[in-house]
Chain A
Amino acid sequence: MANQRLTTGSLLRYLRGNTTEKATLQVVGIKTIDSKTDDPSGASKRYRLMLSDGKATFSSCMLGTQMNKLIETNSLKENSIVRIDRVMVNSIDKQNGRVMLMLYELEVLQSDCERIGDPVALPLTDIINNNGNGTNRLETVNNNQAQAPPPAAAAPPPATNVIRQGSKALPTLDNQKKPNGDNRFAAKGGGGNNTIDKERIINIDTLNPYMNKWTIKARVSNKGQIRNYENARGPGKLFSCDLVDQSGEIRATAFNAECDKFHSMLEMGEVYYIAKASLKAANRQFNTTNNDYEMTFNHDTIIEACDAGEGENIPQVQFNFIPISEVANRTANTTCDVIGVVKSTSDMQTIVSKASQKEFTKRELLLVDEKASISVTLWGQQAEEFDGSSHPVIAFKGIKIGDFNGRTLSCFNNTLIRHDPTETQRTVELRVWYDNEGKSMDLPDLSKGADAGNRPTAVKTLAQIIAEGLGLGDKPDYVSVKAMSTLMKKDQAVYMMCPEERCGKKVVDENNGSYRCEKCNKTYNNFKWAYMVSAEISDTTGAQWITVFRNEAEALLGLTAEEFGAHKLNQSESIIEEIVRKAMNHERIFKLRAKAEQYNDERKIKFTCVGISDIDWSSHGRRLLDEIKQMEPVQN
Chain B
Amino acid sequence: MSHHYRINGSMIQQYSGKPVSIIGTVSKVHPSGNVIDLETSDKQHIVVRSSENVNVESGSIIEVLGNVDNRNQIECDMIVAFEPEQTANFDMDMYNQAVMLFQHYPQDYLVNL
Contacts and interface: CB of A to CB of B under 8 A. Distances in A.
Contacts, number: 30
Interface string B25-60: 000000000000000000000000000000000000
Given A85-B16, A88-B106, A621-B94, 4 more contacts: A20-B103, A621-B91, A628-B101, A635-B104
Interface string B98-111: 10010110100000
Nearest to A625: B97
A85 B14 contact: yes
A20 B94 CA distance: 19
Q: How large is the interface on A (under 10, 10 to 19, 20 to 34, 35 or more residues)?
A: 10 to 19
Interface in A428-474: none
A622 B98 contact: no
Contacts of A622: 91, 94
Q: Is the interface of B mostly helix, strand, loop or mixed?
A: helix
9 contacts: A17-B104, A20-B11, A20-B14, A88-B106, A618-B90, A618-B91, A618-B94, A621-B98, A625-B97
Interface string B79-106: 0000000000111001001100101101
Interface of B: 10-11, 13-14, 16, 89-91, 94, 97-98, 101, 103-104, 106
Contacts of B106: 88
Contacts of A22: 13-14
A22 B12 CA distance: 11
Given A621-B98, A625-B97, A625-B98, A20 B10 contact: yes
Contacts of B16: 85
Contacts of B90: 618
A618 B103 contact: no
A628 B94 CA distance: 13
A10 to B, nearest CB: 14
A599 interface: no
B32 to A, nearest CB: 32
A625 B100 CA distance: 11
B9 to A, nearest CB: 11
A636 B10 CA distance: 20
Contacts of B14: 20, 22, 85-86
A617 interface: yes
Nearest to B101: A628
Nearest to A21: B14
A17 B104 CA distance: 9
Interface string A607-629: 00000000011100110010010
A568 to B, nearest CB: 36
A428 B101 CA distance: 34
A625 B95 CA distance: 10
Contacts of A617: 89, 91
A616 B90 CA distance: 10
Nearest to A85: B14
A22 B101 CA distance: 19
